[in-house]
Amino acid sequence: MSYTSVEANNKKYDFSGVVILAAWFVLSAFCLFYATLAFQYFFSFGTGQLGFWEQILSFLVSSEFATGAGSVHQDQATPYSNGYYFLLPHTMFGAVALAIGPFQFMSFFRKRYMKLHRSMGKIYLLSMMISMFFGIAYLITTPMGDVFSGKPFSVGLIGLDLLVLFTGYLAYVEIKSKHVVQHQAWMAFNFSLIFATPMLRILWVVLAWVAPQYNQAELNVGIMTFLLPFCLLVGMLWYSYQNTRVDVFKKGGAAQ
Partner 1 sequence: MKNKHILIVLALAVFASLVVLNQYVIRFYFDTNLIGALTSSEILTYEMTNFQHLKILYFIYTISVCLALFIGIFIFRKINLLPSEGERVISTPLKAFIGCSAIVALTGLMISVSLGSETVGQDSIRFYWIGLTYIMFVAIAAISYAFINGYTVMLRDWIIHVYGMLLLPALIFPMTILWFHTLNFTIHEAMITAVTISFTGQFFISHFITVQLLGHRMKNN
Q: Name the site residues for partner 1 (rule: CB under 8 A).
A: 3, 6-7, 10, 107, 111, 144, 150-152, 155-156, 159-160, 163, 167, 170, 178-182, 185-186, 189, 214, 218, 221-230, 232-233, 236-237, 240, 243-250, 253-256
Looking at beta carbons only, is 45 or 239 nearer to partner 1? 239
Of 41, 154, 55, the C-alpha closest to 87 is 41
Please state the closest distance from residue 39 (CB atom) to partner 1, in A: 26
Cα–Cα distance, 114 to 107 (Å, whole number)? 10
Looking at beta carbons only, is 81 or 118 nearer to partner 1? 118
Please state the closest distance from residue 51 (CB atom) to partner 1, in A: 26
Residues with Cβ within 8 Å of 167's Cβ and at least 6 positions away in sequence, in order, are 186, 189, 190, 193
Please state the closest distance from residue 221 (CB atom) to partner 1, in A: 5
Looking at beta carbons only, is 39 or 103 nearer to partner 1? 103
What letters, b where the CB count within 10 A reaches 16 and e where it falls short, cover 150-179?
A: eeebbebbbebbebbbebbebbbebbeeee
Looking at beta carbons only, is 62 or 225 nearer to partner 1? 225
